[in-house]
């Protein structure tokens, strides 16, 4: 078996397998292209269910650019890694504005809270 090559950062692909999801669902590739591809790839999953008031969600309308077939929400609060072998075909790429919003939310989510005692 050859080396698995992950899609580029910002690509939207389908993913399914193992305990991740029994049916293919769209995910955003959120791993820097400079890092070598290994057995896993960092992703952010999409959901088709709105969660009003969810701070770490990004609404994404379907478009020819992203390849989504309906409006979805990027679940930035569920960033994680899945086996690269579970990645399917590339649907498209996330629009720049939505990608920048996802990056900003992920940075906020993963940054330490300011020290309120100083």
Token digits for 30? 């959120």
For 11-109, the fitting CATH number among 3.40.50.150, 2.30.30.110, 1.20.120.350, 1.10.10.10 is 2.30.30.110
Instruction: Write down the pTM of the prediction.
Output: 0.87
pLDDT tens-place string over residues 1-47: 344 556 899 999 999 976 667 789 999 999 988 877 678 899 999 99
pLDDT tens digits for 36-89? 767 889 999 999 998 888 889 999 999 999 999 999 999 999 999 999 989 999
Q: Dump pLDDT digits (tens) for 93-106.
A: 999 999 999 999 99
Buried b vs exposed e over 71-106: b needs ≥16 C-beta within 10 Å?
ebbbbbeebeebebebbeeebbbbeeebbebbeebb
């Amino acid at each position: 078996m050859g080396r698995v090559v992950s899609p580029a950062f910002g690509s939207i692909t389908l993913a399914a397998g193992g305990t991740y999801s029994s049916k293919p669902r769209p995910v955003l590739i959120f791993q820097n292209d400079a890092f070598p591809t290994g057995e896993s790839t960092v992703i952010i999953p999409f959901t088709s269910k709105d969660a009003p008031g969810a701070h770490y969600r990004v609404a994404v309308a379907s478009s020819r650019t992203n390849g989504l077939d309906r409006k979805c929400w990027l679940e930035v609060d569920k960033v994680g890694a899945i086996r690269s072998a579970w990645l399917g075909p590339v649907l498209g790429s996330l629009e720049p504005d939505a990608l920048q919003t996802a990056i900003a939310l992920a940075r906020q989510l993963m940054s330490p809270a300011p020290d309120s005692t100083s």
